[in-house]
Amino acid sequence: MNNLEYLKDVNEQFLASIRFADTKAEVLLAIVGLFGGLLGFTYPRMLEATATTETLAQAVLVTMTMCAISTIVAMHGALTALAPRLSGARESLRSFPDAARIAADEYIARLLALGPDGIRGDLAYHNAILCRIAEKKFHALANTVRALKMMLISSAGVCLLYALAQF
């Protein structure tokens, strides 16, 4: 395997990781969105059902607020995973946003001027950028999962308080 084949293989691995992260973020966003909608739907009913004592109502209010904040944080994390921001990256001819900013004639001229070493260098640089993108996506997904755990714990607390209010 020569170094260009190796760079192409690494490129495919990074792209596969990014596709996996995108799929996971989409699923988490759907779950969090569904859960957030359910939370918004049940919020008034939970407050009404637990209004029997002031302490219980306040406890439900606190746990529902924790749940709402966790929902917002989880949605932000999933959306960040879908569209991470990078700063400080130089232009790459393999990046479609970069290529779109260049006139077609200039883009073709730059590609033809690269030569074998330039092609390998541009691909290696693009792989480094893809690696940073994948790392940001997985970091955002980890934050989303932590927020989702907090949502579930808060929801369990709300359910417990609701059950206590029924007695």
Annotated domain spans of the chain: 3-165
Structure tokens at 162: 């609701």
Mean pLDDT, consecutive 10-residue stretches, the chain (167 aa), reads: 85 92 94 89 80 80 89 94 77 76 85 85 88 92 95 89 80
C-beta of residue 151 within 8 angstroms of C-beta of residue 28: no
C-beta of residue 120 within 8 angstroms of C-beta of residue 3: yes
C-beta of residue 144 within 8 angstroms of C-beta of residue 72: no
CB neighbours (10 Å) of residue 40?
11
Q: What pLDDT is recorded for position 77? A: 94
Residue with tokens 């009404």: 48
What is the model's pTM?
0.80
The one-character DSSP state at 101 is T
Residue with tokens 């001819």: 93
